[in-house]
Amino acid sequence: MEQYVIKGGNPLVGEVEISGAKNAALAILAAAIMTDETVLIENLPDVNDINVMLEAIGGIGATVQRVDRHRVKINGSTITDFNIEYDFIKKIRASYYLLGALLGKYGRAEVALPGGCNIGSRPIDQHLKGFRALGAEVDIEHGKIVAESDHLRGTHLYFDVVSVGATINVMMAAAMADGLTIMENVAKEPHVVDVANFLNSIGANIRGAGTDVIKIRGVKSLHKSEYSIIPDQIEAGTFMFAAAVTKGDVTVLNVIPKHLDATISKLHDIGCEIEEFDDAVRVVAKGRLRCTQVKTLPYPGYPTDMQPQIGVALALAKGTSTITESIFENRFKYLDELARMGAVIKVEGNSATIEGVEKFSGTRISAPDLRAGAALCIAGLATDGVTIIDDIEYIQRGYEKFEEKLRSLGGVIERVASEKEIQKFILKVG
């Protein structure tokens, strides 16, 4: 098993190029199978979750041609199978997007039921409610969701919960249903808009993505296109907080600053200076960070995927901060790891009270999930000593060349695979 070993203490300084948005890419790859013509997708992040999704798509018979690290061609005309096995769902929940895509295109899909995961129980009732509203028969059989319909019809649907996944999944199925679908109380995340834009680029008729109401007029067939995925707002935010906690000066390149509004606002609150450009944002941190209050909310609120990163910053900030996690019930596990580094934290239900400390001390910790793992690396970079992070495969699922990008900013971090390599690193960094 690989680990990261980090020697903290250097401020991160410089420019870093942000990759394409993983969460947009996962859904767009699924949607790409909905046409029988070839789709070229660009700005694909080169991360493990994307490779698994491409395998799942290839597994049902679609033609997948990797042009280079960031571009792929997909042709859905060769699909022969409508069944996504548990192996894929276990590795990436987002393979359930093939449910909406296959149901919309062929009127049939079988996808293993996703279980819970490290950040919570994660029901999918709203996805199923949407498919049923479109006229599909949906059953759970032997651990699988089986959705079928010989005629999907447009519908008027109100989601009980604002869900990114349900909004995207039902939008895909409705794109090829007969007539008009109106979906209310939908998610407004940038990647929901990106998926709608992609579907429109292949001939769908979707209006309103990015607002509370999406209107979809179903079309009979979809066609080829070339599409470039939006930049990853969470990867960008992670590097912005890395600048904050290391008292650095980092410019994230290839971003859409508007998507980063909530993150920028919190960085301001804790005392960072921010400069916004057309497609870049610079974060400068001098002196000790300040405490604040933060509550995670659906977009445009502060993202739950940025909660651990701000948690690390607040654990080093002057004064008492609170974090309220309102999206997932189990997203505070990383705080136990931070406490092992010296942070002072009390968790009660879905809120955490954090008394900022002057500094962390390096130790051995584990990444509990993707975003928390990245946040703990940032904590390591802000620590004087050496931090060893286990279970880094979570981080590699969603961050392209994470350690290389941190190193290019002056971070001292290496990926190692044995105790011997750890000792070698420690000897080298002194």
Judged by CB under 6 A, does residue 126 bind ligand UD1? yes
**HEC-encoded secondary structure of the chain:** CCEEEEECCCCCEEEEECCECHHHHHHHHHHHCCCCCEEEEECCCCCHHHHHHHHHHHHCCCEEEEEECCEEEEEHHHCCCCEECHHHHHHCHHHHHHHHHHHHHHCEEEEECCCCECCECCCCHHHHHHHHHCCCEEEEECCEEEEECCCCECCEEECCCCCHHHHHHHHHHHHCCECEEEEECCCCCHHHHHHHHHHHHCCCEEECECECEEEEECCCCCCCEEEECCECHHHHHHHHHHHHHCCCEEEEECCCHHHHHHHHHHHHHCCCEEEECCCEEEEECCCCCECCEEEECCCCCECHHHHHHHHHHHHCCECEEEEECCCCCCCCHHHHHHHHCCCEEEEECCEEEEECCCCCCCCEEECCCHHHHHHHHHHHHCCCCEEEEECCHHHHHHCCCHHHHHHHCCCEEEEECCHHHHHHHHHHHC
Judged by CB under 6 A, does residue 362 bind ligand UD1? no
| Residue 374 to residues 4, 116, 234, Cα–Cα distance (Å) | 11, 21, 11
Nearer to ligand UD1, 347 or 357 (CB): 347
Residue 117 appears among annotated catalytic residues: yes
Judged by CB under 6 A, does residue 108 bind ligand UD1? no
Shortest CB 191 distance to ligand UD1, Å: 6
Shortest CB 127 distance to ligand UD1, Å: 5
Judged by CB under 6 A, does residue 232 bind ligand UD1? no
Judged by CB under 6 A, does residue 127 bind ligand UD1? yes
Nearer to ligand UD1, 22 or 405 (CB): 22
Judged by CB under 6 A, does residue 111 bind ligand UD1? no
Nearer to ligand UD1, 302 or 425 (CB): 302
Q: With CB under 6 A as the rule, give the number of residues binding ligand UD1.
A: 21
Nearer to ligand UD1, 70 or 127 (CB): 127
Q: Which residue stretch of 159-167, 237-245, 257-265, 268-276 sits at the interface with ligand UD1 (rule: CB under 6 A)?
A: 159-167
Q: Which residue stretch of 158-166, 177-185, 350-358, 421-429 sits at the interface with ligand UD1 (rule: CB under 6 A)?
A: 158-166
Judged by CB under 6 A, does residue 226 bind ligand UD1? no
| From 117, 272, 291, 377, active-site residue | 117
Shortest CB 26 distance to ligand UD1, Å: 5
Which of 71, 122, 217, 333: binder of ligand UD1 (CB under 6 A)? 122
Q: Which residue stretch of 62-70, 220-228, 258-266, 298-306 sits at the interface with ligand UD1 (rule: CB under 6 A)?
A: 298-306
String marking each residue 35-74 x if it binds ligand UD1 according to CB under 6 A: ----------------------------------------
Judged by CB under 6 A, does residue 125 bind ligand UD1? yes
Judged by CB under 6 A, does residue 94 bind ligand UD1? yes
243, amino acid identity: A
| Residue 71 to residues 16, 66, 77, 230, 342, Cα–Cα distance (Å) | 20, 6, 19, 13, 43
Q: Which of residues 162-181 bind ligand UD1 (CB under 6 A)?
A: 163-166
Judged by CB under 6 A, does residue 112 bind ligand UD1? no
Judged by CB under 6 A, does residue 187 bind ligand UD1? yes
Q: Which residues bind ligand UD1 (CB under 6 A)?
A: 23, 26, 94, 120, 122-127, 161, 163-166, 187, 303-305, 327-328
Residues identified as active-site = 117
